[in-house]
Each structure stands twice: as C-alpha cells, then as structure tokens.
C-alpha cells in the first residue's frame, strides 16, 4: 500500500478518539465523511480573517471572499473536467441539485403523458423529486430494475424508453449496494434516443475520477460533506445548453439582471441558479477538500479503498450466516449486510458499544429494502483514512456480538 497513514490520520484528528472506551472506528463514510485539517483551517480563515458577502462589495474583504468563492468554482470545474466554469452551480448538496433539475428542467420540458426513468437502486433524493415532477405535470415514472447481485439490468433499458421519455436519472454509485453503474453505457443508450441523463454522483465523486465530458452526462450532482468538505454545500454540473434553456429555480438576489414590477430579467450562468447569499465559506472549504484528495491522488485513493473492500468482503464472507447485499463486480467501499437474525438496530447499537460506527435502517432507499424483502440493513462504508486493523476490529466485534445472541 502506497499510503503514509501516519500523515493521513494526523490530518483527521477527529478519528483519534475513544467511543465507549475503545478506539473509535468510523465506518459511516457513505453518510458523511470527516474533514481534514486543511478544510478546517480554511473555514477558520474565512471566519476569523476574511469575511464579507460576495459579488456585491467593492471593499477588500468582499473582493477577497468573492475571488476565493469563484476560485472554488474553478477547482470544481477542473475536478469534474467540465468544459466551462459557468456550468458549475453551487447548491446545498446533491438533494438540492437534483431538485433543481427536477423542478426547472421539468417545468420547461415535461408535459402530460411524458415519462421519466430512474432505477430501482436510487437514493430517495433521486426518486422523490422526479415523482413530485410527475405529479405536477401528469407524467409517469418508469423504473430500471437491478439483479439480485446488485447490478442494473441495463439490457432492459431500451425496452423502457419510449418517445415520451424526457429524462433519465441514475446513481453513479449506489449508497446501499455499492455498485458502480455502467453510466457511460447508459448515457450512450439514452443519448441515442435524445434523452438527457442526470447522474447522481453523491457516492462516486469522493472515490473515482469524474470526467463529465468523457461521460457526456447532461447533469452531475454531488455533496460537499461526502467529499471531506462541509455540510450545506454541493454542486450541480449541467451542460450549458440545458442550463441556458431551463428557467431559474429559486428567485431572489443575485439571480436577476434587472427587476421592475412589470418584468424581471435573469442573470447569466451560473448566477441564474444561485439565488441569495450562497454558503460561500462552504464552497471555499469544499474547494480545499477537493484539492486535498487531488494531492493524495484519486487513483491511489480508489485503489486503496478497493483493497479495504476486498479484505472486508473476504473476512465477512468467512462468517457463517452473514449475507451481503450487493456483490457487483464493480463496487466501492460500501457493504450492506445482515448477520444471522440480529436486527440491524440491535447490531448497530452493540457495535457502537464496541466503538464502531455503522449505519443501520432503510438507508433512504426503500425500494432496495423492498427488493430484498427486508425492513432494514446494516451498512459499513470505508474510505481512505480507514485501515485493515479497523476492519479486523469490526469483524472481531461481529463475531463477539453473534456469540451474545
């Protein structure tokens, strides 16, 4: 392994603590990630040394803060390999990014009788906004299913597409199954029918290189807090042609060109979609988070996380009566599982008593629970600051808990 753990762990002091008198093992990274020191320092700098509202002042702090915010946009543009910086919209997170498209795109392009395609493995954030749009416009939702091993049945996509299909929304990586979906292929199929594609990148952006031009996706969404940055900030990438054609999402300051009581005209991209004072400290700090992982190297991160995933999968499969949900050949470090008949809430509570943080419940993916006929799952999710030793403690804890039942 190529990593200097001492250095990396030093950047995440939060990990160096005890929970219930044991070293804390944080395996809930798919829910939110921890922030490294450079991100915390950036928040501090833009709280203690520089602060003023952006895009509206001529004084020194307003200029410095505006420059830092717009520099963060450039960092995101480079990170996503987008063609233009104006195609990067700051939002509150993936949920808001998807709602923006579901509201604004559908207002313009969705009519009665039209159809939207999503997949069975989506997070609720990539289902409900589309359902709401369908209700508003009397359209319907179609669902691309997945096979029991957690791979999408992409071969069925053509049969779901009709001349009424207006948009397709798909997760790049599933938050429950860990599956890395073949989105390039899905986008190619959709585009051959002139259907635009929104990619929910909440679980992929932290772990893989993203090139929106190579993917040719029309929209791409991700959240700052899952990529080692702050909460309350996220990104929507959209191709300029779509963003230009779409009406604004929220109305207010900054998104306008000129306001009169008779008529308001709107600002240019990206400001047209950034009404009100944005979370500029968040955007600036998210820029630092992206630089942080780029400095380590996203490929290095991906390959190390793969080792963690493979090691954990092997160790867990060696346990009797442990079922893993989602065993696609292409996976990130997310393992949802069921141990014996132990209820996930009990398991999560007992793991916590042993200092190990996992997620339990329906994981904002009811259709995935329904697919497997379960009411809840337990999820361990790893990232580059986790270690093989932590996986050993986790597996030892599972063994110990099983003995208790």
Q: What is the DSSP letter of 305?
A: H
Among 15, 30, 68, 283, binds ligand 7TS (CB under 6 A): 30
Q: Which is nearer to ligand 7TS, 165 or 381 (CB)?
A: 381
Q: Does 279 bind ligand 7TS (CB under 6 A)?
A: no
The count of residues interacting with ligand 7TS (CB under 6 A) is: 17
Q: Is 364 considered catalytic here? A: yes
Among 86, 87, 115, 200, binds ligand 7TS (CB under 6 A): 200
Among 202, 281, 289, 309, binds ligand 7TS (CB under 6 A): 202
Q: CA 275, CA 263: separation in Å to the nearest integer?
A: 17
Q: Does 380 bind ligand 7TS (CB under 6 A)?
A: no
Site for ligand 7TS, residues 31 to 90, rule: CB under 6 A = 31
Is the alpha carbon torsion for 382, 388, 389, 392 positive or negative?
positive
Q: CA 220, CA 319: separation in Å to the nearest integer?
A: 38
Among 11, 72, 87, 93, binds ligand 7TS (CB under 6 A): 93
Among 165, 175, 181, 387, binds ligand 7TS (CB under 6 A): 175
Of 79, 384, 362, nearest to 222 (Cα)? 79
Q: Which is nearer to ligand 7TS, 347 or 363 (CB)?
A: 363
Q: Does 223 bind ligand 7TS (CB under 6 A)?
A: yes
Q: Does 171 bind ligand 7TS (CB under 6 A)?
A: yes
**Cα 212 to the chain's mean position, in Å?**
15
Q: CA 201, CA 79: separation in Å to the nearest integer?
A: 13
Q: CA 131, CA 138: separation in Å to the nearest integer?
A: 10
CA angle 184, 216, 93 (to 5 degrees): 90
Q: Does 181 bind ligand 7TS (CB under 6 A)?
A: no
CB burial readout 309-340, b (16+ within 10 A) else e: beebbebbeeeeebebbbbbeebbbbbbbbbe
Q: What is the DSSP letter of 238?
A: E
Which residues fall within 8 angstroms of residue 197, CB to CB, at 6 or more apart?
Answer: 167, 168, 169, 170, 183, 186, 187, 190, 191, 217, 218, 219
Q: Which residue in 106, 134, 217, 364 is the catalytic one?
A: 364
Question: What is the contact mask toward ligand 7TS in residues 351 to 370, using x (rule: CB under 6 A)?
Answer: --------x---xx------
Closest approach of ligand 7TS to the CB of residue 218, in Å: 17
Binding site for ligand 7TS (CB under 6 A): 30-31, 93-95, 123, 125-126, 171, 175, 200, 202-203, 223, 359, 363-364
Q: Active-site residue numbers?
A: 364
């Amino acid at each position: 392994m190529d990593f200097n753990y001492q250095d990396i762990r030093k950047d995440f002091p939060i990990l160096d603590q005890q929970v219930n008198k044991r070293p804390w093992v944080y395996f809930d990274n798919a829910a939110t990630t921890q922030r490294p020191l450079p991100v915390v320092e950036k928040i501090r700098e833009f709280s203690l040394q520089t602060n003023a509202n952006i895009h509206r002042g001529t004084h020194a702090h307003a200029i410095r803060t505006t420059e830092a915010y717009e520099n963060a946009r450039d960092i995101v543009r480079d990170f996503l390999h987008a063609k233009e910086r104006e195609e990067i919209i700051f939002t509150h997170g993936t949920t808001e990014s998807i709602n923006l498209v579901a509201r604004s795109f559908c207002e313009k392009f969705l009519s009665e009788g039209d159809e939207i395609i999503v997949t069975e493995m989506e997070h609720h954030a990539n289902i409900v906004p589309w359902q709401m749009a369908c209700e508003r416009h009397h359209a319907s939702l179609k669902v691309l299913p997945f096979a029991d091993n957690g791979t999408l049945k992409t071969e069925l996509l053509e049969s779901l597409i009709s001349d009424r299909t207006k948009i397709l929304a798909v997760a790049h990586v599933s938050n429950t199954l860990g599956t890395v979906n073949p989105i390039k292929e899905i986008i190619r199929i959709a585009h051959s029918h002139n259907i635009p594609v929104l990619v929910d990148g909440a679980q992929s952006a932290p772990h893989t290189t993203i090139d929106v031009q190579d993917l040719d996706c029309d929209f791409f969404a991700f959240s700052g807090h899952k990529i080692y940055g702050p909460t309350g900030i996220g990104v929507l990438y959209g191709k300029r042609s779509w963003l230009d054609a779409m009406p604004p999402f929220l109305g207010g300051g900054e998104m306008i060109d000129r306001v009169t009581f008779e008529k308001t005209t709107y600002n240019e991209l990206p400001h047209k979609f950034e009404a009100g004072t944005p979370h500029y400290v968040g955007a600036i700090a998210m820029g630092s988070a992206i630089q942080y992982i780029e400095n380590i190297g996203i490929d290095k991160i991906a390959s190390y996380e793969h080792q963690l995933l493979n090691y954990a999968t092997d160790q867990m499969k060696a346990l009797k009566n442990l079922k893993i949900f989602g065993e696609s050949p292409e996976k990130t470090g997310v393992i949802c599982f069921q141990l014996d008949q132990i209820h996930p809430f009990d398991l999560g509570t007992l793991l916590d008593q042993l200092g190990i943080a996992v997620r339990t419940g329906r994981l904002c993916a009811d259709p995935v629970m329904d697919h497997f006929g379960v009411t809840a799952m337990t999820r361990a999710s790893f990232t580059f600051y986790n270690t093989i030793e932590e996986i050993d403690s986790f597996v030892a804890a599972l063994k110990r808990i099983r003995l208790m039942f």
